Structure 1
């Protein structure tokens, strides 16, 4: 099958999460991703997270559809192999500290000389320039610095980090988005360009009304826990046997909700007849809804509200979500056979293309397993030519 990025070669110098997530997305769309790893141990994530049969499922989940090449980029011979790769590549993705690539002899101007059509994507903490460009970055720190943590959690509690490493994932997603846009621009201009995806910038772009309201009014967002910052009622409510999440985001949906609860009169109640008043009297309104929700079960309310056009659902744990019939129908849990390692279960493809869908063409590779294959493609007949280990196959 001809996928959207078939024929595009990506040289992947990244490790850990944000970069590998970016290159996995490109590989899922058909790109030939060559993952360059150090000759000794490779990507540290190979040893991170839960392992089965000595194999990290964390690594497997973010490194499918890649070929692994072991290469010592500190050696002259290793740099020569990288040079050969870049001459015919379409994309280079790196998440080094700003300036490291130039220190290796592959600065911006050199890369343009090597291959004017090359798209170079850098994933950084704060951006490739500016007063914080040299700072080390980590998801937790970026969650704090971006303002994200200040908006997360309950009003009477300290700021709270988001569970998943959201800043890494957003930066990787934007990097992949930037790469495909740069490739499209190259179709028009014939020239590559630099794509800069920063964890900090990516998080700021995700604030929606929180930043727009602050920029309009100068008023800082207040942590509201599971309540919505700008509309009420909205949040978790207690049924007779558990909580449900209910999101009546417009007056029309709220009327439907209150009608189903036999509380339609509240829309004309002087305490609640505008969103502003409902926000001011949120606790009183939530208590009235909780009292009504507590008269029936979670399952009953979820069925009745959804049938009535009111968005709602159960707070599921990760196991429940991964076994949810909708998730399974959408093929969001894949089982990929890894030679010598057995089957690995992982999250599937979030974007569905009808004519040229994402595919798992390769499982996550063993360290350096494709070294000789790639050297042969470059016209190097032995590992000694590249100063890489010969026992990587």
Structure 2
């Protein structure tokens, strides 16, 4: 570890040098920051992370001051912002010095993009042999597509996710559809955290560092889960089924008298209980529908019957009755209803992070609930360059670096130096 661990923080003592931007990398480092690691986010002095300008909507603090794009705040809480120009020789020298003081470097530049600055893995491992270095790209460090740029939307398409998302062919609105959030980026961030933690465990056991090669396309293929195995088992590509499930019936959206609910019946006992609540108990004994394999084979017969029954009652009526019978059911909430949900509120998922000056913003909590080492209290995403002076003063050798000279040379900037 680079510094002493603090009690109650799982990753305290671990320092992360974060050279990522947009979403996959920042999502990973945000999780690490939640768990107590010190995350030093390196940003270009002019504009910083691209997502700082990906608004509106923007976030305002409790004083009504505009704090930048909501997108940026979604993935950068709890970090320190240090503004360094990596194209400047003194900026590169500064980053190499920060690497010596860090456990992990994480970056999402194009393959080979950091080599010209002497900031690639092979260069930095000579400075710190036990360094954990995580590279995130669209297609990985090897393979025929390695030099291509990769974005979440593109990878959802190339990696097969869009082929199984959307309405069925021949139905209204039928076309391949992306997921409503940049899911491949988020999943890649999660896998990057897993890889970093595994590499740190190996380093602590052996003293050896290593490079982690994370590719969005690899992650997308891996997380096709049962759909991928369905193809490998049959040789047939799964098709789009809208809100239906390829292997479980009934497991989809149904229209009630005043809205839609999700019915997620996972076993035959739940189906029997549903039929009792619905007033059609004999359907559960019908050999066409008594077991899940039978229901899958006969879905085109069963679903219209169930839809006819579901449309006769209200959402609240179905939700109350089916929950009482332990049958999984729920509404399709918009985000207003999500954050107003009593269970979401009870779980503390809407937070009020505070910045270094004490201003309060709005944010989303970490979902991790650890009894001994919970995530740190939420801290707001930093302003650009907010921590340049304090971090460099603390971590750079004053005999080798004069931070005022670095600023004067344009290698670094402090908060408010530039527009």
Length-normalised TM-score, structure 1: 0.95
Q: Which residue matches 1:179? A: 196
Is 1:101 aligned with 2:124?
no
1:383 to 404, 408, 418: 404
Aligned-pair RMSD on alpha carbons? 1.8
Instruction: State the distance in 2 between where 1:81 and 1:334 align.
Output: 35
1:309 to 326, 329, 333: 326
Is 1:13 aligned with 2:19?
yes
SS at structure 2 position matched to 1:219: coil
Instruction: State the distance in 2 between where 1:390 and 1:48 align.
Output: 22
After TM superposition, the structure 1 = structure 2 runs for residues 11-90 of structure 1, keeping only pairs within 5 Å, are: 11-49=17-55, 50-51=57-58, 52=60, 53-55=65-67, 56-90=69-103
Instruction: State the distance in 2 between where 1:293 and 1:391 align.
Output: 61
Residue 346 of structure 1 and its aligned partner are, at CA, apart by 1.4
Q: Which residue matches 1:222? A: 239
Q: Which residue matches 1:2? A: 8
Residue 242 of structure 1 and its aligned partner are, at CA, apart by 1.7
**Contact 1:33 1:67 survives alignment (8 Å):** yes
Instruction: State which drifts further: 158-167 or 44-53.
Output: 44-53
Residue 273 of structure 1 and its aligned partner are, at CA, apart by 3.5
**Contact 2:365 2:378 survives alignment (8 Å):** no
Residue 15 of structure 1 and its aligned partner are, at CA, apart by 0.8
Instruction: State which drifts further: 290-299 or 28-37.
Output: 290-299
Residue 238 of structure 1 and its aligned partner are, at CA, apart by 2.3
Residue 290 of structure 1 and its aligned partner are, at CA, apart by 2.1
**Contact 2:245 2:252 survives alignment (8 Å):** yes
After TM superposition, the structure 1 = structure 2 runs for residues 1-393 of structure 1, keeping only pairs within 5 Å, are: 1-49=7-55, 50-51=57-58, 52=60, 53-55=65-67, 56-156=69-169, 157-338=174-355, 342-360=359-377, 362-377=379-394, 378-379=396-397, 380-385=401-406, 387=409, 388-389=411-412, 391-392=414-415
Residue 276 of structure 1 and its aligned partner are, at CA, apart by 3.7
**Contact 1:383 1:390 survives alignment (8 Å):** no
**Contact 2:361 2:380 survives alignment (8 Å):** no
Q: Which residue matches 2:4? A: none
TM-superposition CA deviations, 1:305-358 (whole Å, max 9, x none):
112111110011111112111111111111123367943211111111111110
TM-superposition CA deviations, 1:70-120 (whole Å, max 9, x none):
111111111110111111210001000111122221333222211011100
Residue 24 of structure 1 and its aligned partner are, at CA, apart by 0.7
Residue 13 of structure 1 and its aligned partner are, at CA, apart by 0.5
SS at structure 2 position matched to 1:322: helix
Unaligned runs of 5+ in 1: none
Instruction: State which drifts further: 358-367 or 174-183.
Output: 358-367
Residue 231 of structure 1 and its aligned partner are, at CA, apart by 1.8
Q: How many correspondences in the alignment?
A: 393
Instruction: State which drifts further: 295-304 or 311-320.
Output: 295-304
Instruction: State which drifts further: 332-341 or 257-266.
Output: 332-341
Instruction: State which drifts further: 282-291 or 168-177.
Output: 282-291
Residue 282 of structure 1 and its aligned partner are, at CA, apart by 1.7
**Contact 1:384 1:390 survives alignment (8 Å):** no
**Contact 1:126 1:198 survives alignment (8 Å):** yes
